[in-house]
Chain A
């Protein structure tokens, strides 16, 4: 974690650099408001770049068809006159409202951004490890339970139990077999649809006694005294049995969650942030939510609708950035794009 560094103040801080977050920079720029975008992903584009960069989108006005990544590239070109700043690969952990109403945003890497308005364009939210329903799982998080393997060396010589049936569970089983003291893979089924070569290797290693492979089995309970020591397994063959374990690593993929956003005092309904359909403001003054992450009567999760929401949200945000000025509506065809 880097030292807390104060970066220059910005007018609008935007969480999420997907298409809607990017277009918010344009709408803010027209009103002479500067923007700083933060995204947990390492690049701009959000879902478009990460999930379907090469899939066509058919409902962007003016484009009968456009690929996801091309739309992102064009949005970045469109907002470049407004010179936005970006922080990538960081997740906003906390937001603090100052006495003058302005907001201080802090990321998980301790980047601090001071802004007058916060726009949440977080899309699906953050992708976090899927946590299975296992008794004691939360209790032993950081005390033997982890959801990803950052440094395999910490597992050297240890008794490691992995759970899951995807590629990640298979790959780590093979990799850790040479490092850990003992590796057990617990899988609820008996087949692995992932890469057949790796699955074959895992079956061979189990046959040779290099790893333990428990099929048709589920981990149900974790036990320990301050640190994980044992876990209970229910299987098709045996009602239940207990095996020792120093580490338990469930590998069940990632699932989108609101993440820390849910802890900022914002209203949340079914993982979405309710907003006023008049200006997409949330229940906290100076915080707006646009795009897939918000909800209001008649909400449609469309890029098109997100674009519209940014226009109205930025018009509303103007009063916080320029409290002394009167907002006058201007057409770009008349006034052009006035950069900073």
Chain B
């Protein structure tokens, strides 16, 4: 029998003062990483509401990039515009949290 917590994943976050914190999220909530970060009280604006338009939710993916779906053209178009971008930068609003993403490590850059 599956564990009652099998839908729970942990996202590791490097915050502004370089400390690593862990955020636990139930994937059944079908949240984007941006929504999860906002709900967790992280300083992510998400001004556009999740339509890849403002890039205020940009994160650098430090570990677990291989478990993320590929960015869409719309996300890449926005990323193209950003100055001084670390290599594995994604828009958190475009990352839908799934069970395989347990242990994802990101740094807030938006």
Contacts and interface: CB of A to CB of B under 8 A. Distances in A.
A252 interface: yes
Interface string B28-64: 0000000000000001010111010111100000000
B23 interface: no
A164 interface: yes
Contacts of B47: 124-125, 256, 271
Interface string A175-195: 000000000000010001110
A166 B80 contact: yes
A116 B11 CA distance: 49
Contacts of A194: 80
Interface string B51-79: 10111100000000000000000001110
A89 to B, nearest CB: 21
Main secondary structure of the interface of B (DSSP, over half): loop
Interface magnitude class on chain A? 20 to 34
Contact of B49 (A188, A252, A255, A292): A292
B51 A132 contact: no
A270 interface: yes
A172 to B, nearest CB: 14
B54 A255 contact: yes
A153 to B, nearest CB: 26
A274 interface: no
B54 A165 contact: no
A188 B48 contact: no
A163 B83 contact: yes
Contact of A255 (B51, B55, B76, B80): B55
Contacts of B85: 188
B4 interface: no
Main secondary structure of the interface of A (DSSP, over half): loop
B83 A133 contact: yes
Interface in A178-224: 188, 192-194, 218
Contact of A188 (B43, B51, B78, B84): B84
A304 interface: no
A250 B83 contact: yes
Interface string A212-252: 00000010000000000000000000000000000000101
B80 A193 contact: yes
A132 B53 CA distance: 17
A84 interface: no
8 contacts: A52-B51, A124-B47, A133-B84, A164-B83, A166-B77, A252-B81, A256-B53, A292-B49
